């Protein structure tokens, strides 16, 4: 890159004498330390406090593993381990096989309506996981219009849990598998065809091995999401208890914080295990696709294309049915005996739970997390990727940025109580404020944003920083004038991801809200607990619509950006 091709972002009038090298290095060190401090305070300390709590009695004395022994001697609690494992396994198998077929349809066939399907398939992410559970009661409950499908089995229990989880986890699996199936080498398929290999054999020997890492990674991600999910079993679990709901019942229902900590530690194990496996796989996957690979393009084949199209449309139809049911439930006067339409359930008048105030709080939280989180996470990723020196510190920060993915929301929320509500903690004032909800949500969803940032930053030429440094422009100017603007699409992706998750999450924040900071997702839970099912559906729909609007704005904005400000992308 020559001087003349420098982006306009470096105005000629910039003070050439620059900033003294020493202070800049010092500032660099300080911001790095600030990033580390954020994750130490927001993640490591609380987790440590939780581990400590699990080996203490009520008065705070160390009692070794006594709590764990008591846990394993209480059948009602131990049963939850097997329950959790079984529903998580069932959900994993059904979600991954269905998502694989749909992803195959998208990437390896010429089925019509791919774009529409992909748009519809993403919808479940925009709703809290409580929404499908509420819908399933209306669909398959004792009054449900599809109850005969279950042939006398109750929707309250494992069947409902697996169905509800499958609904909201499906988009995650579909995205992972679509990515995995997109990377293909046409040369292998041509060779197979030339050798007269039967289709099924090609599938077993080329397609499956090609996506094996993506598939295994997807299996573990889905399993982790399923075993740590709280919303679905809470609403529709009936008498079937799982680990995540046990944490809630021990802590909120009985204020038995020690036992809550014990269940949390147990819930942490499968999540940590799948995290380790996933990391190991990610490392292997790098060398899989050679630079000479030619992307494979499907050729039309009506029978195959329409088979996959019908399957995908059926899935999209189910998604629309579930969301539509929640909308319908929220508009009905008194289901199932008075089916006239009304908007009264959207007034939330005098139902507790916070009503529209809770929705407004959720908006505040979502906007704060989106704004602060995006800047902090992207800036930290940039420090890790693009700066020099302090290598151990940068590696440490990167490692810590990967950890939140392995920490279930219930566990993180409870850990925050233990750490921030200690009388001696100087950060005690945060407890019960909106700020702690922002910090918690930011940390909870840190990893995916970090990975997105790193991917985007790796695509940028490292010479931007080199040139900036040689011109003696301070690093924060390079960051704000060059790196941030060119990475705008990724930055927008991160912010909308944070916004939607802050809107819909319930597992961590259910322990941390107080009377001023009630959230919409928590309100859904409380309305359902108190028996206001229609209003619970209304609040869930409200969250869904809010996320949908933001997602559409994001899509429009990205479209405009890519067409105008980011035209340089196509040039390269």
Partner 1 sequence: MPTFHRFVQPTLVAGAVALALSSAAHATELTVYTAVESDDLQKYAERFNAAHPDITINWVRDSTGVITARLLAEKNNPQADVIWGLAATSLLVLEEEDMLARYAPEGVDNLDAKFVDPAYQDGEDPAWVGMDAWVAAICYNTIEGERHGVPMPASWEDLTQPEYAGHVIMPNPNSSGTGYLDVASWLQLWGEEQGWEYMDRLHNNIARYTHSGSAPCSLAATGEAVIGVSFAFRAARLKSQGAPIEVVFPEEGLGWDMEAAAIVEGTNKLDAAQTLMDWIVSREANELYNEGYAVVAYPGVAQPIENYPSDITDRMIDADFQWAAVNRERVLAEWQRRYDGKTEQ
Positions in the binding site for partner 1 (CB under 8 A) = 76, 79, 137, 141-143, 156, 233-234, 237-239, 241-242, 245-246, 248-249, 252-255, 257, 334-338, 349-353, 423, 514-516, 526, 529-533
DSSP structural state of residue 207? I
* 143 vs 297, beta carbon nearer partner 1: 143
**What's the half-sphere exposure (Cβ side, CA atoms, 13 Å) at 373?**
34
Q: Shortest gap between Cβ of 324 and partner 1 (angstroms)?
A: 19
* 341 vs 568, beta carbon nearer partner 1: 341
Burial class (CB in 10 A: 0-12, 13-18, 19+), 40: middle
Q: Shortest gap between Cβ of 361 and partner 1 (angstroms)?
A: 14
Q: Shortest gap between Cβ of 56 and partner 1 (angstroms)?
A: 14
* 232 vs 486, beta carbon nearer partner 1: 232
* 48 vs 335, beta carbon nearer partner 1: 335
How far is 535 from 136, CA to CA, in rounded Å? 16
* 491 vs 524, beta carbon nearer partner 1: 524
* CB-based contact 541:131 (threshold 8 Å): yes
Q: Shortest gap between Cβ of 421 and partner 1 (angstroms)?
A: 8
End-to-end CA distance of the chain: 14
* H-state helical runs in 16-74: 21-39, 45-54, 66-73
* 234 vs 450, beta carbon nearer partner 1: 234
Long-range contacts made by residues 468-474, C-beta under 8 angstroms, separation at least 24?
Answer: 468/10, 471/10, 471/14, 471/16, 471/18, 472/16, 472/17, 472/18, 472/19, 473/10, 473/14, 473/18, 474/18, 474/19, 474/24, 474/27
Long-range contacts made by residues 346-352, C-beta under 8 angstroms, separation at least 24?
Answer: 346/538, 346/542, 348/523, 348/527, 348/535, 348/538, 348/539, 351/527, 351/530, 351/532, 351/535, 352/526, 352/527, 352/530
Q: Shortest gap between Cβ of 529 and partner 1 (angstroms)?
A: 5
* 456 vs 537, beta carbon nearer partner 1: 537
Q: Cα–Cα distances in Å, from 210 out to 43, 195, 222, 293, 369?
A: 36, 19, 20, 12, 38
Q: Shortest gap between Cβ of 348 and partner 1 (angstroms)?
A: 10
DSSP structural state of residue 473? -
* 100 vs 230, beta carbon nearer partner 1: 230
Q: Shortest gap between Cβ of 123 and partner 1 (angstroms)?
A: 26
Q: Rounded to 5 degrees, what angle do the CA atoms 172, 293, 458 make?
A: 60
The two tokens of residue 258 are: 């020690």
Q: Shortest gap between Cβ of 1 and partner 1 (angstroms)?
A: 59
Give the Cβ contact number of residue 363 at 10 Å: 17
Q: Shortest gap between Cβ of 230 and partner 1 (angstroms)?
A: 9
Give the Cβ contact number of residue 138 at 10 Å: 23
* 228 vs 483, beta carbon nearer partner 1: 228
The two tokens of residue 411 are: 């566990």
Burial class (CB in 10 A: 0-12, 13-18, 19+), 216: middle
The CA radius of gyration of the chain, in Å to the nearest whole number, is: 25
* 141 vs 171, beta carbon nearer partner 1: 141
- Helix/strand/coil for 436: helix
Q: Shortest gap between Cβ of 322 and partner 1 (angstroms)?
A: 18
Q: Shortest gap between Cβ of 45 and partner 1 (angstroms)?
A: 20
* 173 vs 232, beta carbon nearer partner 1: 232
């Amino acid at each position: 890159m020559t001087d003349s091709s420098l982006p306009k972002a470096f105005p000629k009038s910039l003070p050439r004498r620059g900033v003294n090298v020493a202070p800049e290095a010092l500032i660099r060190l300080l911001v790095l330390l600030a990033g580390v401090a954020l994750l130490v305070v927001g993640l490591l300390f609380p987790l440590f406090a939780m581990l400590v709590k699990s080996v203490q009695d009520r008065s705070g004395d160390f009692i070794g593993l006594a709590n764990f022994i008591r846990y394993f001697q209480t059948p009602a609690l131990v049963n939850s381990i097997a329950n959790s494992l079984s529903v998580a396994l069932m959900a994993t198998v059904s979600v991954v096989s269905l998502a694989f077929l749909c992803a195959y349809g998208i990437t390896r066939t010429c089925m019509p309506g791919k774009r529409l399907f992909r748009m519809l398939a993403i919808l479940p992410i925009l709703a809290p996981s409580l929404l499908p559970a509420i819908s399933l009661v209306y669909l398959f409950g004792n009054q449900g219009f599809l109850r005969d499908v279950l042939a006398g089995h109750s929707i309250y229990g494992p069947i409902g849990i697996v169905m509800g989880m499958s609904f909201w986890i499906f988009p995650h699996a579909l995205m992972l598998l679509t990515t995995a199936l997109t990377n293909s080498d046409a040369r292998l398929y041509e060779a197979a065809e030339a050798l007269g290999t039967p289709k099924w054999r090609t599938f077993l020997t080329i397609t499956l091995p090609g996506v094996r890492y993506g598939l295994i990674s997807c299996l573990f991600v889905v399993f982790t999401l399923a075993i740590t999910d709280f919303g679905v079993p809470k609403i529709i679990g009936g008498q079937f208890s799982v680990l995540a709901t046990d944490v809630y019942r021990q802590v909120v229902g009985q204020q038995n914080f020690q036992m809550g900590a014990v269940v949390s530690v147990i819930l942490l194990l499968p999540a940590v295990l799948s995290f380790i496996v996933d990391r190991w796989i990610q490392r292997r996957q790098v060398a899989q696709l050679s630079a000479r690979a030619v992307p494979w393009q499907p050729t039309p084949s009506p029978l195959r294309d329409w088979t996959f199209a019908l399957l995908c449309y059926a899935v999209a139809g189910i998604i629309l049915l579930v969301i539509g049911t929640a909308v319908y439930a929220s508009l009905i006067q008194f289901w199932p005996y008075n089916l006239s339409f009304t908007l009264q359930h959207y007034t939330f008048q005098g139902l507790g739970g916070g009503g529209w105030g809770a929705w407004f709080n959720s908006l505040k939280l979502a906007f704060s997390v989106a704004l602060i989180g995006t800047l902090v996470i992207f800036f930290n990723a940039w420090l890790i990727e693009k700066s020099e020196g302090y290598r151990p510190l940068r590696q440490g920060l990167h490692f810590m940025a990967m950890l939140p993915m392995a920490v279930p929301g219930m566990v993180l929320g409870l850990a925050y109580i233990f750490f921030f509500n200690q009388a001696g903690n100087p950060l005690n004032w945060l407890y019960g404020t909106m700020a702690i909800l922002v910090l918690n949500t930011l940390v909870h969803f840190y990893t995916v944003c970090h990975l997105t940032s790193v991917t985007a930053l790796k695509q940028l030429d490292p010479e931007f920083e080199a040139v900036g440094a040689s011109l003696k422009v301070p690093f924060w100017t390079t960051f704000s004038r060059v790196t941030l603007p060119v990475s705008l699409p990724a930055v927008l992706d991160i912010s909308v991801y944070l916004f939607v998750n802050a809107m819909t999450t319930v597992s961590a924040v259910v322990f941390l809200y107080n009377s001023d900071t009630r959230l919409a997702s928590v309100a859904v839970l409380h309305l359902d607990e108190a028996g206001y099912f229609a209003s619970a559906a209304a609040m869930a729909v409200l969250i869904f619509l809010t996320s949908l609007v933001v997602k559409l704005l994001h899509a429009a904005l990205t479209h405009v950006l890519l067409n105008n400000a980011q035209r340089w992308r196509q040039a390269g």
